[in-house]
Amino acid sequence: MYPKEGYNIFMISKQQTPIKSGFQAKTNTDEITKGIDLIDKIAIVTGGYSGIGLETTRALVDIGARVIIPAKRTEVAVQNLEGIVSKENIVEMDLSNLNSVKKFTEDFKENFGKLDLLINNAGIMACPETRIGNGWESQFAINHIGHFLLTTELMDTMAENDGARFVSLSSSAHSLTGILWNDIHFQNNPYDKWMAYGQSKTASSLIAIEFHRRMVDKGVSGYSVHPGGILTPLQRHLQKEEMVALGWMDEDGSPSEMAKNFFKTTSQGASTTIWCATSSSLDEIGGVFCEDCDVAKRKNEVDESLQRYFGVADWAVNTEEALKLWDVTQSRLPSAPPVTTL
């Protein structure tokens, strides 16, 4: 059962409540974007060439946005995005290398100057223990620290655009744990790939909460998103036996009944991101966690049997936790040695 104590409820936004958007869990992106025009808008989508990131890119391009794709594997990105994004808009960047992230942001500022949408979609999940840079645990380093540097370096390009938005992809796995303040990088305790992933996805939510607080007076909003369950290359580190044990597939490798009922297509998985990035329903709302194309309920408002998969844990939207994580991450970046690639 989800813990009900330990986090100050007064540090949770009153806006963290569903708004009855009119969309559903399995709404497709074209339903979200109907009637929306993003001509002359510039977007960045990390991981925008695979899985739901590719669908996010496609949806934005279809309504006129110019989408810039930072990619570690540029040759794969060029191939996957053929006919969608031109090669000149696919730029090398490696989230595990802070120098690479810094170079990307500097080049973007020089070439574009303004940014309307930043969507932090890329990530790794439940991978074997890997250390990068000065001993950082790789899921936290890539899913949070790399994205944090990207975001903070681009904030000034968004501040000049009233109505700009930031979307950070979290996951239902955030419900596994808050930030492990005493051992963020598993240096004192045995590594647990799911706890590490869950922590990184809590961080992905908190960055949006604090971003919004810092930017809302400039007319810029931030949102975190749980896209839902989708079978994509994100699961590349999981063996078939593990996915069977999780209830995602049957022994023969076909989707389980649970997966058939609850899992989404990539278009459906991208829809909440697109809704947060474009919906006028959110013009006066921000700093919230969203799922199924609506603002999410808090965990204690969800049926106990469904709390593992739906709703947002207080620790992922707590403004005090968000500020602490922002300050801790920021304070460690300047003194950090160059981060090596995975």
Tens digit of each residue's pLDDT (9 = 90 or more) over 99-157? 999 999 999 999 998 999 999 999 999 899 999 988 999 999 999 999 999 999 999 99
Pairing mode, strands 294-295 and 288-291: antiparallel
Distance (Å, whole) CA 215 – CA 202 = 20
Q: With bands split at pLDDT 50, 70 and 90, how would you rate the model's confidence at 92? A: very high
Q: What is the dihedral of CA 45, 46, 48, 51, to 10 degrees?
A: -130
Distance (Å, whole) CA 200 – CA 15 = 24
> Environment class of residue 182 by beta-carbon count within 10 Å: exposed (0-12), middle (13-18) or buried (19+)?
exposed
Mean pLDDT of 208-234: 89
Q: What is the CATH number of domain 13-229+265-331?
A: 3.40.50.720
> Environment class of residue 260 by beta-carbon count within 10 Å: exposed (0-12), middle (13-18) or buried (19+)?
exposed
Q: Active-site residue numbers?
A: 170, 197, 201
pLDDT in tens, 40-87: 999 999 999 999 999 999 999 999 999 999 999 999 999 999 999 999
Q: Is the pLDDT of residue 1 over 60?
A: no
Sorted by where each begins, the domain ranges of the chain are: 13-229+265-331, 236-263
> Environment class of residue 208 by beta-carbon count within 10 Å: exposed (0-12), middle (13-18) or buried (19+)?
buried
pTM, entire model: 0.89
* Amino acid 307: pLDDT: 85
Distance (Å, whole) CA 29 – CA 274 = 7
Which of the two residues, 341 and 6, has the higher pLDDT score? 6
* Amino acid 134: pLDDT: 82
Q: Is the pLDDT of residue 337 over 50?
A: no
* Amino acid 162: pLDDT: 86
pLDDT in tens, 165-218: 999 999 999 999 999 999 999 999 999 999 999 999 999 999 999 999 999 999
CB atoms within 10 A of CB 318: 26
Q: How far apart are the first and last CA of the chain?
A: 36
Which of the two residues, 118 and 9, has the higher pLDDT score? 118
pLDDT in tens, 240-298: 566 555 555 656 666 655 555 568 999 999 999 999 999 999 999 999 999 999 999 99
Q: Is the pLDDT of residue 3 over 50?
A: no
Mean pLDDT of 31-38: 98
In DSSP terms, 167 is beta-bridged to 119, 223
Per the listing, tokens 């969800």 go with 302
Nearest to 177 by CA among 321, 11, 323: 321
Per the listing, tokens 């699961």 go with 235
